[in-house]
Amino acid sequence: MSSASLASVPNIGDKAPDFELPDPDMKPRKLSEFYGKKTILAFFPAAESPVCTAEMCALRDSLDQLRDLGANVVGISVDGPFANKFFVQNRHLNFPVLSDYRRDVIKKYGIVMNKLGPLEGYDAAKRSVFILDEKGKVIYRWVSDNPLVEPNYNEIKDALKKAK
């Protein structure tokens, strides 16, 4: 992949790259529609995989607490809207899960994982969390090169508390 097609990971203080992606009902959703509240962008490699399920369910289970800290949650994977719809329904996810099926957003955010397990050339999202302020600036970022590692949920809550 050429460096021109893969951006660098946004730094703290950078404006997060905007995007428009379909939700599980194929309704286009823009990042900018979440402005006005802090937004947790949780990129995950694959719907229904064990670690991704654990992460999305942890976010689901703490959503009230995260909302009390003034934040929305948005999950993003390269899975198609149909797979994400099954994932959302099956796991009772209570926040938007968007489909980056063209893999444009993971390139914009510099978080392309070029191999998913033994699948060489299967570009998926690196497990990543970006917290954006009310205007879309990055106030926290965490990117893992290991898809088996979940984010530190207490660190996410602490970052939201500090941004109050």
Residue 41: per-residue pLDDT: 98
Per-residue pLDDT reduced to its tens digit, 122-153 = 999 999 999 999 999 999 999 999 999 999 99
Catalytic residue (one of 16, 31, 42, 52):
52
Tens digit of each residue's pLDDT (9 = 90 or more) over 70-115:
999 999 999 999 999 999 999 999 999 999 999 999 999 999 999 8
Is 7 part of any domain? no
Which among 115, 111, 123, 121 is positioned nearest to 42, based on CA atoms? 111
Decide if 27 contacts 82 (C-beta within 8 A): no
What's the total number of domains in the chain? 1
Q: Distance between CA 88 and CA 24 in Å, rounded?
A: 8
CA of residue 86 relative to chain centroid, distance: 18
Task: Confirm whether 34 is domain-assigned.
Answer: yes
19: nearest Cα among 8, 32, 10: 32
CATH number of 127's domain:
3.40.30.10
Is 127 domain-assigned? yes
Q: Is the residue at 30 inside a domain? A: yes
Residue 6 lies in a domain: no
pLDDT score recorded for residue 6: 65
Active-site residue flag, 57: no
CA 37 to CA 40: how far, in whole Å? 10
Domain region containing 136 = 20-162
Instruction: Say if residue 4's pLDDT is above 70.
Output: no
Tokens of 59: 């976010």
